[in-house]
Amino acid sequence: SQQGEEDPQALSIQEGENATMNCSYKTSINNLQWYRQNSGRGLVHLILIRSNEREKHSGRLRVTLDTSKKSSSLLITASRAADTASYFCATDQEYGNKLVFGAGTILRVKS
Amino acid sequence: ETGVTQTPRHLVMGMTNKKSLKCEQHLGHNAMYWYKQSAKKPLELMFVYNFKEQTENNSVPSRFSPECPNSSHLFLHLHTLQPEDSALYLCASSPQGWQPQMGNTIYFGEGSWLTVV
């Protein structure tokens, strides 16, 4: 069954604006990761946040994790046209042995 | 260049054909994966190999047959596929076998686009 579910399914913004994507999951996790996929290409790891962390930054990316609500958000600040891609959350379940990916959010940044 | 190379990038095959997808990782990793990505569906894990041994088969039909001759190479043999098997097949690797609580980051190849006609 699907663990992570991203929201919204699609997001269109202007260059320079911030983009926020959300991920909800169902079971307890060890950590949560975000990946990016350019159209028709492989996924690229962006950032990992552990279950005992609440916020993490990497460049223009900010990830938050709320384990009480079983949710995470990915914020991309000052977006660029090159940020256009699909973004996936993936959960490392507490009693699992694999990463489980959500269906993704399609982000389009218009220049 | 991701360190995980997949060939071919595009494959069109008939339902009675036999073909193979190949994956090679140059990262010195010990775990390798096959994922299937269909339109508007979450990424589906198919197979996991740790140190050349298959540790996960996610209820994949037998018309998909994986092979892992060593830690650097992974194949997916395809036989009598159906049109609904058309998808992007992604190979991936990670440094070690699955370790709970360790933060298992996965490195993906560019994928092989498969069309079954």
Q: What local confidence, expressed as pLDDT, does residue B56 receive?
A: 83
Residue B98: alpha-carbon gap to chain centroid: 16
Structure tokens at B113: 């686009």
Q: What local confidence, expressed as pLDDT, does residue A3 receive?
A: 60
Quick check: B1 pLDDT over 70? no
The reply to whether A2 touches chain B by the CB within 8 Å rule is yes
* B2 vs B25: CA distance, rounded Å: 9
Lowest-pLDDT choice from A72-86, B43-57, B91-105: B91-105
Quick check: A2 pLDDT over 60? no
Q: Which residues contact A59 (CB under 8 A, 6 or more apart)?
A: none
Closest CA in chain B for residue A95: B100
- Contacts of residue B55 in chain A, CB cutoff 8 Å? 97
Q: What local confidence, expressed as pLDDT, does residue B101 receive?
A: 62
Coil, strand or helix: which one is B90? Answer: strand
Asked if residues B113 and B37 have their Cβ atoms less than 8 Å apart, the reply is no
Instruction: Label residue A7 by pLDDT band (50, 70, 90).
Output: confident
Q: Which of A30, A88, A102 comes nearest B101 by C-beta?
A: A30
- Contacts of residue B57 in chain A, CB cutoff 8 Å? none
Strand partners, A108: A12
**pLDDT mean over B14-42:** 93
State the DSSP code for A18: -
Phi-psi region of A87 (alpha: psi -120 to 50; beta: other; left: phi over 0): beta
Q: What local confidence, expressed as pLDDT, does residue B98 receive?
A: 66
Contact between chains at A99 and B106 (C-beta distance less than 8 A): yes
- Among chain B, residues having any CB pair with chain A shorter than 8 Å are 2, 4, 40-43, 45, 48, 55-56, 88, 90, 92, 98, 100-101, 103-111, 113
| Residue closest to A84 by CA, chosen among A76, A72, A95, A73 | A76
Q: Is the peptide bond before B8 cis (omega within 30 degrees of 0)?
A: yes
